[in-house]
């Protein structure tokens, strides 16, 4: 499962800004300068750590057609990261970030 250390390792090469809220329990992670053609900068939303050390939260996939009918996709275009393994998250992150300019 995905942990905070593996998340930080995968996000380190990207120019991201981490905004903490809810008493520094949850994080919103977005690009500083890059964005989608629609203007969206947000990459990860409501990221937090569970008691067992794994992460919960959402990654924005609303701009990717392959996730239009995914059963776990929210109406706002987010996909939960709770059940993703590190390799799955890394692959999804590569798909998502190549569209940010």
Write out pLDDT tens, residues 58-98: 999 999 999 999 999 999 999 999 999 999 999 999 999 99
- The model carries a pTM of 0.92
The tally of domains found in the chain comes to: 1
Spatial strand order of the sheet with 78-80 comes to 16-21, 26-31, 42-49, 55-60, 78-80
Q: Which two tokens stand for residue 88?
A: 């799955």
Domain enclosing residue 32, as ranges? 4-97
Q: Which two tokens stand for residue 44?
A: 């990860």
DSSP structure class, residue 15: -
């Amino acid at each position: 499962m995905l942990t905070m250390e593996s998340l930080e390792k995968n996000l380190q090469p990207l120019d991201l800004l981490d905004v903490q809220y809810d008493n520094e329990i949850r994080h919103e992670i977005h690009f500083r300068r890059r964005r989608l053609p629609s203007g969206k900068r947000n990459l990860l939303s409501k990221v937090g750590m569970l008691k067992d050390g794994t992460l919960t939260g959402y990654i924005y996939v609303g701009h990717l057609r392959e996730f239009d009918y995914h059963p776990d996709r929210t109406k706002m275009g987010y996909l939960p990261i709770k059940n993703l393994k590190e390799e799955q998250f890394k692959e999804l992150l590569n798909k998502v970030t190549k569209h940010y300019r």
